[in-house]
A and B are shown apart, each in its own frame.
Chain A
Amino acid sequence: MFARYFVELPIPADDVERALSRDPRGWIPGLAEQANFKGDRLLAEVGFGEAIRLRRNVIVEIGKPIHASSKSFFPLRWTASGHTGLFPALDADIEVASLGSYRAQLAMSARYVPPLGAVGRTIDRALLSRVAEATVKDFLDRVGEAIVGERATIA
């Protein structure tokens, strides 16, 4: 299944790319300090938003970015670190595109495996879709906040 979400950030695209190219502990939301930081495998928390955040741990893998003509792609994959429950495995690209000199669009195009295997396919697909969208939205909102917050701190 597919999910996509984007936010606009009040900073140049180059700054966003630089932030995403640095240590993921600076921008992956809720990354625990004691997380198992080995190479590009990280443990992070994801959820549906402030109100009902599950604080579910996922293993995040980050690939080498691709810089295309119109935008840059930062490949990312996450899988639940323990009992998968309602949480899907997810492959995504975090995309950075310039919206002029001082603004950037941060987007996430995600593909995920419905949870619960075959059972997952039979339950309310609309609900699953909303869960995935909410998860992606929550994750990307917090990535954006982390990047903007970090830049403000540096400035």
Chain B
Amino acid sequence: MYGMNPQEGDRRLIEAGMALASELSLDAVLLRIVELAVDLTGARYGALGVLTPDGRSIEEFITVGITAEERAALGDPPIGHGLLGALIREARPMRIPDIGADPRSVGFPPNHPPMKSLLGAPITGRGKVFGNIYLTDKQDADAFDDEDERVLVVLATQAAVAVENARLYDETERSGRELQRLQVLEERERIGKELHDGVIQSLFAVGMHLQGLATATDDDNISRNLESAVEDIDHAIRDLRNYIFGLRPGILADRQLDQALKEMATDFAARSGVVTVVDVDADAASRLTSRAADVVQIVREALSNVGRHGAATTCRVSVERNAAGLVIEVDDDGQGFDVELTRSGMGLQNLQERVGSLGGVFQIESTPGEGTTVRATFPS
């Protein structure tokens, strides 16, 4: 597209302005600016240096014309020495026919492709320089000319508007997300109030009543059954309270993750008769501290499945760190099942969704008659 006459250049600039206007995210706009600048001027290489808030150095450097490998070989991105720094300080278009011959040049780092001619222009909006466009190596001539500079200055002006639009868009998006978050919190608060004032109070009353009956009866069997029902109600209330108050699961209070899991396993073994062992790697547990409540909930659901469906005699809960990440596993020797046929049942979907929502990977391995392994893997 280079080597064009001014009319053609203007037409291309209008198209470029429209192309920029169609981009909404800031990252996409920045890359598009460099691509258009390279295209419009016939440069071999292009870059855009976003300046730090104080406008004195480069904090982000977007490039076109070199591969990711070539860029990686250059090491750290430039921060604004030499001619790049000169453009930052002077904040006006710069056209250099031979970079190496300019006294302000400080040379290139190792592995840098050779570059000769340079054309640069600042992107200025609201009286402040946002960044600079750098173009090098005019492909069909020894150096950039007046028309290239004119085109780049106009493009930089359009770019400033596009950057401002993208920033406003990002800000609007963030505000929208924040508003949505606040609405969710408000709704959660409302649901919490209703649950607490109604459901929990009713459950508590039923629990008290059943507890009284359990104490009053002389029949041990009935008493045990009533107490079991009281415990179930107690757990239901605890879960509701945890949801409402955003508390960690009760079992986590004043306990480390490994202790909490061991306590849960002991309780599960006592209730289900399944011999349960817990093997927690301390390093993995410490890395999961911020997600401890979720880990407890995942293991609780997995154990619940073992108790209800597994027909297992032994079960192992493990937390470890390996090449795949932080791995939580609940493994039993029960009856197993056909994973393909039972994928959505048995509470597996809940587990899958919970793990997925936390950025983890959920896996299940099971064969009829050979037990089941439920695994959640999180990035370490």
Chain A residues at the B interface, C-beta cutoff of 8 Å: 1-2, 4, 59, 61, 63-64, 66-71, 73, 75, 77, 79, 89, 91, 93, 109, 111, 118, 121, 125-126, 129
The one of A2, A73, A91 in contact with B196, judged by C-beta atoms closer than 8 angstroms, is A73
The residue on B at minimum CB distance from A79 is B254
User: Given A61, A66, A69, A71, which contacts B192 in the complex, CB threshold below 8 Å?
Assistant: A66
Q: Give Cα distance in the complex from A129 to B250, angstroms.
A: 21
Tell me the dominant secondary structure on chain B's binding face. Answer: helix
User: Would you call A129 and B211 a contact (CB within 8 A)?
Assistant: yes
Interface pair A63/B247, CB less than 8 Å apart: yes
B211-252 toward A: CB 8 Å interface, digit per residue (1/0)?
100110000000000010010001001100100110100100
B245–A109 contact, CB under 8 A?
Answer: no
B193 touches A1 (CB 8 A): no
Docked pose: A141 CA to B39 CA in angstroms: 81
Given contacts A91-B250, A111-B238, A129-B215, contact A2 B193 (CB under 8 A): no
Shortest CB-to-CB span from B310 to chain A, Å, is 22
CB-CB < 8 A to A129: which residues of B? 211, 215
| B68 interfacial by beta-carbon distance below 8 Å | no
Q: Which residue in B196, B211, B247, B253 is a CB contact (below 8 Å) of A66?
A: B196
B18 at the interface (CB under 8 A from A): no
Q: Is the CB of A61 within 8 A of B234?
A: no
Chain A nearest Cβ from B199, distance in angstroms: 12
B binding-site residues for A, Cβ under 8 Å: 189, 192-194, 196-197, 201, 204, 207-208, 211, 214-215, 227, 230, 234, 237-238, 241, 244-245, 247, 250, 253-254, 270
Interface pair B253/A61, CB less than 8 Å apart: yes
B197 surroundings in chain A (CB, below 8 A): 68-71
The reply to whether A68 and B196 form a contact with Cβ atoms under 8 Å apart is yes
Do A125 and B208 contact each other (CB < 8 Å), given the known contacts A63-B247, A66-B193, A73-B196?
no
Whole-angstrom distance between the alpha carbons of A59 and B254 in the complex? Answer: 9
Residue among A63, A70, A71, A73 with the highest chain B CB neighbour number at 10 A: A73
List chain B residues, Cβ under 8 A from A1. 211, 230, 234
Closest to B237 in A: A111
Decide: A111 and B234 in contact? CB cutoff 8 A.
Answer: yes
Decide yes or no: A66 and B234 within 8 Å by CB, A4-B204, A79-B253, A109-B204 being known contacts. no
B253: chain A residues at CB < 8 Å are 61, 77, 79, 89
Interface centre among B197, B204, B208, B238 (most CB of A within 10 A): B197
- 25 residue pairs bridging A and B, Cβ less than 8 Å apart: A1-B211, A1-B230, A2-B204, A2-B207, A2-B211, A2-B234, A4-B204, A63-B247, A64-B245, A66-B192, A66-B244, A66-B245, A67-B193, A68-B197, A69-B197, A70-B197, A77-B253, A91-B250, A109-B201, A111-B207, A125-B214, A125-B215, A125-B227, A129-B211, A129-B215
B181 CB → nearest A CB, Å: 17
The 8 closest A-B pairs by CB, nearest first: A68-B197, A63-B245, A68-B193, A2-B208, A2-B207, A126-B215, A75-B245, A111-B234
**In the complex, how many angstroms separate the beta carbon of B223 from the nearest chain A beta carbon?**
8
Chain B residues positioned under 8 Å from A67 (CB to CB): 193
CB distance from A106 to the nearest CB of B (A): 16
B216 to A, closest residue via Cβ: A126
